[in-house]
A = this chain, B = another copy of it.
């Protein structure tokens, strides 16, 4: 069934109900939507309620940026909690702590906009509208922190509706409906897909792609992961992405590389799917290819370049002195190649040259050491600064390998000087790694990196516990 019965039914109800609605005729869209929201909150007629919900959903989608901000501020104030009512209810509960007074206090404290959102969710496409609305809120939030409560309410409701038990895992390949593949092309943001031929290569026999779907957003992936089946752990992205690379026999692969994970719905940020997706995909892969014994990612290190540049200026999450000390072993070659005495300045200078990988021999080791420092030391607000590291480590992966000059694309050079890393999921150790990371923030490393960490700590002793 291509349109859900529910949408068809509501369309019918709303069409009949429209005439009965006394729709507001104000020419100011914010005022009009605001009035409709009030009417929706107080409606008892079901058809008129649904028609209003559909009207509100459509109006929300149609607002321009300024009007939408205005409306969100209205929602924040007009449909927020009533302080006086809360305090009265708290007093009543204090005086007589019965079930009635408790429930009255509960009701008082729930902002009316939660009920408003619930009612919008019953309109045709209402879930989609709320996901879009939250995306707007998230974009506005840095400059409009007052929208925090609206965001909190939306996140609370979406988290309940997008319960992982309601998701479907689906394999995506070249037999998948084309309209869905088109969305994969559009949503891929880690390694952009250049078109249908590029996509085709990513879906051939030695590749796998899986996504999560939710019944209320049919034909809309929530998140998807792209996997390559190879013989060894890759140290660079280009061979994985080459549309003309020969297709290998997946049955002979020992390694599965998760080389791209994409959250598709910005409005669902904070509703966590990636962990479930990776683990489920691992179990699908192991069932299909019993030979697989290495499950790794090829992941970006998005904050590395910024942290190194700020270290050069004496600050940032790494601070200025530690990083310089780390490069003690490499001062001379860096100086010779660049003419700069300060190793950080030398490194940055060489990396700004047109083909920095020409200095690969000189730069690779310093870059790896700085990356290891960044991924283990750089913390913000007590947690690791790097969001990709946080994600995989919290999922129970370990840091397996650091690959200098693994991705020479402009974007990756700007983000991390081309450095990529491999996180590895060892099925039997995932839970243990997860708990170590959750309990004390410990970054589990593969053996070679543990050796490297010891050298690092000689050069730059940890002044403080790993987790502030």
Contact = CB atoms under 8 A, between A and B. Distances in A.
Contacts of A26: none
Main secondary structure of the interface of A (DSSP, over half): helix
B177 A174 contact: yes
Oligomeric state, in number of copies?
Answer: 4
A16 B401 CA distance: 27
Contact of A121 (B148, B163, B280): B163
A48 interface: yes
Nearest to A100: B148
Given A86-B93, A87-B94, A105-B86, A175 B165 contact: no
A280 B163 contact: no
A46 interface: yes
A163 B94 CA distance: 35
A86 B230 CA distance: 57
Contacts of A8: 283
Which interface class (under 10, 10 to 19, 20 to 34, 35 or more) fits A?
35 or more
A279 B438 contact: no
The interface centre, meaning the residue of A105, A122, A177, A430 with most chain B CB atoms within 10 A of its CB, is A177
Given A122-B164, A178-B178, A196-B196, A283 B431 contact: no
Nearest to A93: B86
A86 B92 CA distance: 12
Contacts of A166: 161, 166, 215-216
B109 A46 contact: no
A16 B430 CA distance: 10
Contact of A45 (B46, B157, B438): B438
B163 A122 contact: yes
Contacts of A149: 99, 102-103
Interface string A62-93: 00000000000000000001010011001001
A177 B176 contact: yes
A106 interface: yes
A99 B434 contact: no
A275 interface: yes
Given A86-B105, A149-B102, A279 B13 contact: yes
Contacts of A275: 46
Interface in A88-142: 90, 93-94, 97, 99, 102-103, 105-106, 109-110, 118, 121-122, 126-127
Given A45-B434, A45-B435, A276 B9 contact: yes
A20 interface: yes
A141 B168 CA distance: 36
A165 B6 contact: yes
Contacts of A87: 90, 93-94
A179 B157 CA distance: 35
A181 B275 CA distance: 34
A12 interface: yes
Given A9-B280, A46-B275, A106-B110, 9 more contacts: A9-B276, A9-B279, A46-B431, A47-B431, A81-B102, A86-B93, A87-B93, A121-B163, A175-B177
16 contacts: A6-B276, A44-B435, A87-B90, A90-B94, A102-B109, A103-B149, A103-B152, A106-B109, A160-B161, A161-B166, A165-B215, A165-B216, A175-B219, A177-B178, A178-B196, A196-B196
